[in-house]
Structure 1
């Protein structure tokens, strides 16, 4: 009861004039927040608040969009822990062996600083490299299109947000798991690995992964999970532990993910970093999983919905304030 009262007080201070004392996540369903569909707030691993918009429930899976990138990074970390991949070795992409791209490292791919030519959001929008590959001409073999791009910059010198880089990482994971070129075998190997090493130990039961025609997971954009399971993924970002305390993600890998990239202080290893210490998965149209830890306490705030991209910059600080205020002092 004492913790609940302290939380309500902190939220009221963070969001003056709101209904935070009664419902800490009510502000996220205000009309100016766009189409908020589901919100979950966990403090110290326990649900403090949970709410759905009309028409949504525990029965729904919600699309990740770019939150999938963080899941891909966690899977890469499992293979690094196994010794099958090396963070600072040249990325194991055979197609790059005979040109300057052979110097691109796994670290640079995870930091979005590979130097590969890319336009994430073009004008008009359909001209975007990502949209062309995901929805137009690359659906049968997205990794081939992503890998074939030439260098625009020397690797490690420029930050360029790039959803196709995450597809390359998913392809690297797949190649580490199987030599098969059969799309069904490749997809099964990836899905089984994700289930065994990440989802099942974390208690995630609803994950649905999408694959292209060659069996490559669309690792930058297309994973679906329930609201509660996105909360469980957020818990993994806090300390890498499952519900029973088992260490799923190695502490050194989590530390790498949360360390700012040399080319962007707000980005780590496929996760976003806030000045106030929060770490987040972020996806198109306002998919968010904010996480934080302080003094032995933790917070996870999940927001799923459909907010116009040109409004996200103005509404995102509210999510960060709620997450930060919900973090108990300690």
Structure 2
């Protein structure tokens, strides 16, 4: 730790006149600072700009208190002390956020594009010379429906730590069919304030794949196109394998943290597509961001006819933004910003078997059964896995048809088809503190049964 601290302090000094050798500790400390700066630039940019896009407000102080605390080590020890600068256009729209991290390197920069949120530039990279702008006043927001009775007691337990010591709930929403039964928000949050979905985006990605299948633009049992030569066995990897986390590809960490892409400014193409095969496709469950990113890449031609933003608009998710890397590829394994209400709308789509309130079908018949069926290899632990969604098939006291989108720091959409119910919980849970979503789901369902 002492060596890391000394190495980190040295990084802010001016660049030496002569080239020097660096130890592995110094290189890792420098890289950690670059990642921390990228994390800070991106979250300040996305949290503030996407809220303002929806007609809401987030201050830098609010983002520092929520999104920039309790994050993964060692970034949490670095990020608070890095100076930042927020630049706006003459009309007041956020343009970019820059964060200093080393005296001999340019700042880390995140650039706002109102069509696709914020893009993180590579380490040492400069912003694109052209930004596109599109007015967006936010969707119409009805009044918050306050919880009452037993449901109020259940929701309050989400905020007081009863379902996980040290957890921090920012929003909860309970919906039955088309009716919102109750919603509640923490200070600094509200119906128009989006948060990063983290891995809830994987379920959004599965929804986009379903849309492509419905329109005849993709087939889940076809090759995902990962092979680079005729004798490359990755040719056998299908979109289905990727959605079920069963590609058989190697990933460098459990959970496949993808730090170079999420915080380092690398691209989807650089980060997710090249990994080698170590198991036969369809035989081993290995949760990996890379698999979702590859599944989205396999259907990207469908976005020419209908972009993610257009799909969100049709569902009614007007306050949701799918962000991209600096090359324009969607980071649909994590980097989507959305509100509790929009996530509830996604849940309702699945309650209604992929049919919109207008009667228009946008997901194939049977898609709900497909994503919620454990037909592939299964993970260890309390939850099963379908195709882009987690399953409550092992959870006592919860209907066995329940499935969910789940994301880092406590993001959840719980879908209970047999009870026509959707439960959304948003959070900014610190690293090492886990919200008990199964316990909360049981709590809410019991309150609704009374």
Structure 1 residue 135 corresponds to structure 2 residue 257: no
Over residues 96-118 of structure 1, what are the superposed CA-to-partner deviations in whole Å (9 max), with x where a residue is unaligned? Answer: 65411111111111110000101
Pairwise CA distance, 1:167? 1.1
Structure 1 residue 267 corresponds to structure 2 residue 418: no
Partner of residue 252, structure 1: 366
Partners of 1:328 and 1:244 in 2: CA distance: 29
Over residues 198-248 of structure 1, what are the superposed CA-to-partner deviations in whole Å (9 max), with x where a residue is unaligned? Answer: 312221111111101221100100111122111101112222232334322
Contact 1:300 1:323 in 2 (8 A): no
Partner of residue 397, structure 2: none
Matches within 5 A, 1:246-325: 246-264=360-378, 266-275=384-393, 276-294=400-418, 297-312=419-434, 315-325=436-446
Partners of 1:310 and 1:96 in 2: CA distance: 42
Partners of 1:146 and 1:25 in 2: CA distance: 38
Structure 1 residue 118 corresponds to structure 2 residue 239: no
Partners of 2:218 and 2:340 in 1: CA distance: 31
Partner of residue 108, structure 1: 241
Partners of 2:444 and 2:159 in 1: CA distance: 15
Number of residue pairs matched?
A: 290
Structure 1 residue 25 corresponds to structure 2 residue 151: no
Over residues 303-327 of structure 1, what are the superposed CA-to-partner deviations in whole Å (9 max), with x where a residue is unaligned? Answer: 0012245332x62222221354366
Over residues 236-292 of structure 1, what are the superposed CA-to-partner deviations in whole Å (9 max), with x where a residue is unaligned? Answer: 222223233432222222221111132017100100010232110000011000011
Q: Partner of 1:317: helix, strand, or coil?
A: helix
Q: Partner of 2:442: helix, strand, or coil?
A: helix
Which of structures 1 and 2 has the larger relative contact order (alpha carbons within 8 angstroms, sep 6+)? 1
Shift in CA distance, 326/101, structure 1 to aligned 2, threshold 3 Å: farther
Structure 1 residue 168 corresponds to structure 2 residue 301: no
Shift in CA distance, 86/52, structure 1 to aligned 2, threshold 3 Å: same
Partners of 1:168 and 1:160 in 2: CA distance: 14
TM-score, normalised on structure 1?
0.80
Pairwise CA distance, 1:194? 2.0
Over residues 125-182 of structure 1, what are the superposed CA-to-partner deviations in whole Å (9 max), with x where a residue is unaligned? Answer: xxx551233222xx3422332111101211111000001111112212224445xxxx
Shift in CA distance, 73/20, structure 1 to aligned 2, threshold 3 Å: same
Look at both structures and tell me which one has the larger radius of gyration over its CA atoms: 2
Partners of 1:176 and 1:247 in 2: CA distance: 17
Partner of residue 17, structure 2: none
Shift in CA distance, 132/298, structure 1 to aligned 2, threshold 3 Å: same
Partner of residue 46, structure 1: 179
- Flag as ranges the 4+ runs of structure 1 deviating above 6 A: none
Shift in CA distance, 77/302, structure 1 to aligned 2, threshold 3 Å: same
Structure 1 residue 55 corresponds to structure 2 residue 188: yes
Q: Any unmatched runs of 5+ in structure 1?
A: 1-6, 9-18, 123-127, 179-188
Pairwise CA distance, 1:21? 5.3
Partners of 1:73 and 1:100 in 2: CA distance: 24
Deviates more, 1:164-173 or 1:314-323: 314-323
Pairwise CA distance, 1:45? 2.2
Deviates more, 1:54-63 or 1:215-224: 54-63
Partners of 2:430 and 2:240 in 1: CA distance: 31
Shift in CA distance, 92/80, structure 1 to aligned 2, threshold 3 Å: farther
Shift in CA distance, 129/117, structure 1 to aligned 2, threshold 3 Å: farther
Aligned Cα root-mean-square deviation (Å): 2.4
Structure 1 residue 206 corresponds to structure 2 residue 319: yes
Contact 2:246 2:283 in 1 (8 A): yes
Partners of 1:96 and 1:269 in 2: CA distance: 27
Shift in CA distance, 307/96, structure 1 to aligned 2, threshold 3 Å: farther
Pairwise CA distance, 1:91? 1.3
Partners of 1:267 and 1:217 in 2: CA distance: 23
Partners of 1:94 and 1:299 in 2: CA distance: 41
